[in-house]
Chains A and B, each alone.
Chain A
């Protein structure tokens, strides 16, 4: 089978507008994956399926991954001009201080597809697509029109992660019930409080109940 670099080159030749990036995999399995921009994900996937050499006719696994906002703390050396009294004389002195600076790398949701070829019995080719953020821009193109096996699996990803697959013919919740809010597999999911089984409402429970009264079920993600 072609290596990841060769597949990347083939994609770039066939779909020149698509941005393709190799995501290295540090584990001994060394299954590196290809990160495709969401806008051209469908065209790239169609190429992978129809290309005579790859012929990835079998989509084995579809799943989502939730990457939270990352706070990165960097230590930066900053030079200040400080006025100090040196030997009784006031003078302006340069002083270098180490300061911690925080910046937040915004999180995203990721859909991961594992492709194999039943025709040539090779694989896997791993495709990833990322949403812009975790709250309002969570659309990704659906690959169900190309591979029917994505139908239930994308519904499951929508159900548990909240990635909206545009072009999916029947995007409903799969495992949770209709009317359920929030997405249980997100990293910041908080289980809903259930007070039915509390025999007595003591202080701590009472406080939780009061907090709960103003809140809908779930962790309170407002995006649905």
Chain B
């Protein structure tokens, strides 16, 4: 690749989406998909140019759910933003909490007690299971399997949400983690209930796999669909199951060892082809790995405090400086970038959303496919608009 500047000031040779040849007869049909369409998983719009049924251009349009979350973060105190992070990726509020807590702890040099780390791992892995189950269910829904696989997934997800509710008081907006620990302690009864739920997960996944994995329609519509090459995936900053489906071994739980992830035995499932089916399969396998982590964590969880005694929540003023904390959220790398000027609220509060960055290559994946397959490819990215638009 060479990078030369043209007279127009544009660089040639960048990783641009391929140009699709159009047939000479007939003109392009421009379709606006969304924002209110069940397949867009929220309020998201794609401007698609079609040649017959083939997609020749696709431009995503964002901002329907934009509420300037980052500016709110710069006017509120550090602790006030914790419940707000629940509303980013509202499927995975606990991992959002953790990413934010991690960034603030990095900024202030705050330690976290052992038991709290274990609780965080347990909750994050439960979140991953329910997110991946729902993502697979929604993918099947986008394929036209009306309801059944999604309801199977939601039945399992509901059991996990019940656990969240009994611990934090809320099914989805958990607001549970604090800088230097967690808000309330888990009881032995809760741990037993969690063990029971975790023991039931493999059976559910097997059931889901028996329904879907070798289904003829699913194979026909997912294999070889929306192929993403590993070098483009790395260059475009794609993370999470999307990246690992292309075969790149990059899981922040293994790379950064944030929290206490270096203590657990688990493997990172990798795909080979980078198509929709691999993304589906990586998610299924990640559920199995999460179950492994959960079994270890639920067995080893020690007794002790859940808040660091030196942690200060009210009047919390970190020293001037900055920190970038990132975790492996179910959808990819979720990062928080904070700049402190010594005041009670951050000078700059930035979220690196995995959903938005993973959409960068949506056009590349969809070009040349039929318009009906755009829905499937888009469904396999697994996004939540609360996080894309912030």
Interface of B is mostly: mixed
Q: Is B323 an interface residue (CB 8 A)?
A: yes
Q: Which of B63, B109, B235, B359 contacts A175 (CB 8 A)?
A: B63
Residue of A nearest to B340 (CB): A27
Q: Is the CB of A118 within 8 A of B248?
A: yes
Interface of A is mostly: loop
CB proximity of A127 to chain B, nearest CB, Å: 12
Q: Is B125 an interface residue (CB 8 A)?
A: no
Q: Is the CB of A27 within 8 A of B318?
A: yes
Best-buried of B235, B333, B389 by chain A (most CB within 10 Å): B235
Q: Is the CB of B360 within 8 A of A25?
A: no
Q: Is the CB of A175 within 8 A of B62?
A: yes
Q: Which of B71, B236, B255, B322 contacts A148 (CB 8 A)?
A: B236
Q: Is B41 an interface residue (CB 8 A)?
A: no
Q: Is B285 an interface residue (CB 8 A)?
A: no
Query: Within B54-86, which residues are at the interface with A (CB < 8 Å)?
Result: 62-63, 66, 68, 70-71
Q: Is the CB of B360 within 8 A of A148?
A: yes
CA gap between A57 and B235 in the complex, in Å: 6
Q: Is the CB of A174 within 8 A of B63?
A: yes
Q: Is the CB of A124 within 8 A of B360?
A: no
Query: Within B341-370, which residues are at the interface with A (CB < 8 Å)?
Result: 347-348, 350, 352, 356-357, 359-361
Q: Is A79 an interface residue (CB 8 A)?
A: no
Q: Given that A149-B357, A169-B10, A176-B63 are contacting pairs, would A57 and B322 also be in contact in the complex, using a CB cutoff of 8 Å? A: no
Which of B11-19, B20-28, B376-384 contacts its partner?
B11-19
Q: Is the CB of A167 within 8 A of B324?
A: no
Q: Is the CB of A149 within 8 A of B360?
A: yes
Q: Is B320 an interface residue (CB 8 A)?
A: yes
Q: Is the CB of B339 within 8 A of A152?
A: no
Which of A3-11, A58-66, A96-104, A202-210 contacts its partner?
A58-66
Best-buried of A26, A118, A169 by chain B (most CB within 10 Å): A118
Q: Is B115 an interface residue (CB 8 A)?
A: no
Q: Is the CB of B321 within 8 A of A185?
A: no
Query: Within A126-165, which residues are at the interface with B (CB < 8 Å)?
Result: 126, 142, 144-149, 151-153, 156, 160
Q: Is the CB of B234 within 8 A of A29?
A: no
Query: Within A22-73, which residues are at the interface with B (CB < 8 Å)?
Result: 25-29, 31, 46, 57-61, 63, 65
Q: Is the CB of B109 within 8 A of A61?
A: no
CA gap between A121 and B234 in the complex, in Å: 12
- A-side contacts of B319, CB under 8 Å: 26-28
Q: Is the CB of A185 within 8 A of B71?
A: yes
- A-side contacts of B10, CB under 8 Å: 167, 169
Residue of B nearest to A57 (CB): B234
CA gap between A185 and B75 in the complex, in Å: 11
CA gap between A121 and B268 in the complex, in Å: 15
- A-side contacts of B15, CB under 8 Å: 148
Q: Is the CB of A148 within 8 A of B237?
A: yes
CA gap between A148 and B228 in the complex, in Å: 14
Interface string of B225-265 (1 = CB under 8 A from A): 00000001011111000000000101000010000000000
Count of B interface residues, CB-CB < 8 Å: 52
Q: Which of A27, A57, A185 contacts B107 (CB 8 A)?
A: A27
CA gap between A176 and B66 in the complex, in Å: 8
Q: Is the CB of A149 within 8 A of B235?
A: yes
- B-side contacts of A145, CB under 8 Å: 3, 11, 13-14
CA gap between A25 and B318 in the complex, in Å: 13
- B-side contacts of A152, CB under 8 Å: 356-357, 359-360
Q: Is B108 an interface residue (CB 8 A)?
A: yes
- A-side contacts of B109, CB under 8 Å: 27-29
Q: Is the CB of A167 within 8 A of B5?
A: yes
Residue of A nearest to B71 (CB): A185
Q: Is the CB of A29 within 8 A of B321?
A: yes
Q: Given that A26-B320, A184-B68 are contacting pairs, would A174 and B5 also be in contact in the complex, using a CB cutoff of 8 Å? A: no
CB proximity of A134 to chain B, nearest CB, Å: 15
Q: Is B106 an interface residue (CB 8 A)?
A: yes
Q: Is the CB of B70 within 8 A of A60?
A: no
Q: Is B326 an interface residue (CB 8 A)?
A: yes
Q: Could you list some 9 contacts between A and B, CB below 8 A?
A: A26-B321, A28-B106, A58-B234, A63-B348, A63-B352, A148-B236, A153-B357, A173-B63, A175-B390
**Chain B: residues with CB nearer than 8 A to chain A?**
3, 5, 9-11, 13-16, 62-63, 66, 68, 70-71, 106-109, 232, 234-238, 248, 250, 255, 318-324, 326, 333, 335, 337, 339-340, 347-348, 350, 352, 356-357, 359-361, 389-390
